[in-house]
Amino acid sequence: MKSYMRFADRLSLASGAIASVILLLLCGIVVYDIIMRSLFDSTSALFYEISWHLFDVVFLLGLSYALYHESHVRVDIFYSKYTQTTKHIVDFFSMTLLATPFIIFIICNSGEMVYQSFVQMEGSSDPGGLPYRYIIKSFVVIGFVLLLLQVVSKAMHAFLSIESKKIKRAIITSLALLFIVIYLAYMSDVVFVLNPIVLIAILAFTMLMIGFEIAFVFGAIALLFSTITYELGLESLELLSFRTYGIMTNFTLLAVPLFIFMGLILQKAKIAEDLLVSMGRLFGVIRGGLAVSVILVGAILGASTGIVGASVVMMAFIALPVMLKQQYSPALASGSIATGGTLGQIVPPSVALIILGDQMHLDMKDLFNGAIVPSILLVLLYIIYILLISFFKKEYAPAIKSHEPYKDVLLVALKAMFAPFLLIVIVLGSILAGLASPTESAAIGVFFAIFLAFFKGSLRIDIIKYALTESVKLTSMIMLILIGATAFSLVFNELGGSEIVYSFFEHNIESRIGFIFLAMAIIFILGFFIDFIEIIFIVVPIILPIVYFYDIDPIWFGVLIAMNIQASFLTPPFGFSLFFLKGAAGDTLATSTIYKGALPFILLQLVAIAIVIYYPNLIYIFRG
pLDDT tens by residue, 333-378: 888 888 888 887 888 877 788 888 888 888 888 888 888 899 999 9
* Confidence band for 624, pLDDT divided at 50, 70 and 90: low
346 and 289 in a single domain? The answer is yes
* Confidence band for 189, pLDDT divided at 50, 70 and 90: low
Answer yes or no: is 473 within a domain: no
pLDDT tens-digit map of 388-445: 998 888 888 887 776 677 777 778 777 777 777 777 777 777 777 767 777 778 888 8
- The larger pLDDT score, comparing residue 113 to residue 185, is at 113
Three-state DSSP class for residue 213: strand
- For the segment 65-85, the average pLDDT, to the nearest whole number, is 81
Answer yes or no: is 85 within a domain: yes
* Structure confidence at residue 16 (pLDDT): 92
Answer yes or no: is 482 within a domain: no
269 and 207 in a single domain? The answer is no
- Residue 468 CA to residue 451 CA, distance in Å, equals 16
237 and 310 in a single domain? The answer is no
* Structure confidence at residue 21 (pLDDT): 93
209 burial type by CB count under 10 A (0-12 exposed, 13-18 middle, 19+ buried): middle
Out of 249, 268, 289, a domain closes at 249
227 and 268 in a single domain? The answer is no
391 and 504 in a single domain? The answer is yes
pLDDT tens-digit map of 201-227: 788 888 888 888 888 988 888 888 888
260 and 245 in a single domain? The answer is no
199 and 261 in a single domain? The answer is no
Does residue 456 surpass a pLDDT of 70? yes
What does the buried/exposed string (b/e) look like for 484-494 if buried means 16 or more CB atoms within 10 Å of the residue's CB?
bbbbbbbbbeb
- Beta bridge partners of residue 9, listed in sequence order: none
What does the buried/exposed string (b/e) look like for 66-104 if buried means 16 or more CB atoms within 10 Å of the residue's CB?
bbbbebbbbbeeebeeeeeeebbbbbbbbbbbbbbbbbe
Instruction: Name the average pLDDT for the chain.
Output: 82
DSSP 98: I
Enclosing H/E stretch for 270: none
Structural domain range at position 384: 256-459+496-620
156 and 295 in a single domain? The answer is no
* Structure confidence at residue 186 (pLDDT): 64
pLDDT tens-digit map of 565-604: 888 778 876 676 776 677 667 677 777 788 888 899 999 9
pLDDT tens-digit map of 1-39: 778 888 999 999 999 999 999 999 988 888 887 777 777
pLDDT tens-digit map of 303-343: 765 565 556 766 777 777 878 877 888 888 888 888 888 88
244 and 293 in a single domain? The answer is no
Which residues lie closer than 8 Å to 509 by C-beta, 6 or more apart? 515, 518
Number of residues that this document lists for the chain: 624
* Confidence band for 254, pLDDT divided at 50, 70 and 90: confident
Q: With beta carbons less than 8 A apart as the criterion, state whether 17 and 70 touch.
A: no
- Residue 276 CA to residue 336 CA, distance in Å, equals 13
Answer yes or no: is 405 within a domain: yes
Which residues lie closer than 8 Å to 214 by C-beta, 6 or more apart? 72, 73, 74, 75, 208, 481, 484, 530, 533, 534
Does residue 385 surpass a pLDDT of 80? yes
Helix, strand, coil share of the chain (percent; to 5): 80, 0, 20
* Structure confidence at residue 363 (pLDDT): 84
Out of 249, 272, 300, a domain closes at 249
Answer yes or no: is 468 within a domain: no
* Structure confidence at residue 43 (pLDDT): 67
241 and 281 in a single domain? The answer is no
502 and 579 in a single domain? The answer is yes
Answer yes or no: is 614 within a domain: yes
Does residue 252 surpass a pLDDT of 80? no
* Structure confidence at residue 99 (pLDDT): 92
E strands, 330-405, in order: none
201 and 287 in a single domain? The answer is no
- Residue 442 CA to residue 279 CA, distance in Å, equals 26
* Confidence band for 560, pLDDT divided at 50, 70 and 90: very high
Answer yes or no: is 487 within a domain: no
Number of structural domains found in the chain: 2
Answer yes or no: is 483 within a domain: no
Out of 249, 271, 286, a domain closes at 249
